[in-house]
Amino acid sequence: GPGLEIGSYCGKSTVYLGTAFKAAGSLLFALDHHRGSEENQPGWDYHDTDLWDKAADAMDTLPFLRRTLRAARLEETVIPLVTRSTLAARFWTMPLSFVFIDGGHTFEAAANDYRCWAPHVQPGGILAIHDIFPDPADGGQAPYEIYKLALASGLFEELATVKTLAVLRRILV
């Protein structure tokens, strides 16, 4: 079935995921408001001036994602959704085989992504959460906190953790 990536940014991970979904004959929805996360804003460590749209006076990564998808020949496989995660989720009804959470890294943003999208992971489907840092000295804690929520829910079991990526499977109910 189809999958969802939350936080497509300029499309690096989208290409990897989209290539897998293309090979499987399925679709990947790439959800991002394309205005950058907190750490991408001016004055923060991960701000990239090349991504700043002077006319909008805001970040705009959508043109970069579109170029990336075109270059990777994934325009017929990856469907960009340009909005906030909570807004897209309000009327979503489609079960998903895969949800990759790599959006905003505040607790509020990460928790919203988890609460909005985990219920759409079909039994046997995958919930992948990026930037898992059990030790606060290594990185932000919001993704780790939603990882713990997912396990505590009893709806997901851990399959693997590779570096900072946790891969969970929705338990068959």
User: Considering the domain 3-170, what is its CATH architecture?
Assistant: 3-Layer(aba) Sandwich (3.40)
Average pLDDT, the chain: 93
Question: Which of these is catalytic: 33, 34, 105, 130?
Answer: 105
Return the pLDDT at 157: 98
Dig out the tokens for 159 from the structure. 């399959």
Kindly state the average pLDDT of the residues 78-92.
97
Confidence class for position 41, pLDDT limits 50, 70, 90: low
Residue with tokens 């988890």: 114
Three-state SS at 154: coil
Give domain limits for the chain: 3-170
Residue 47 annotated in active site: no
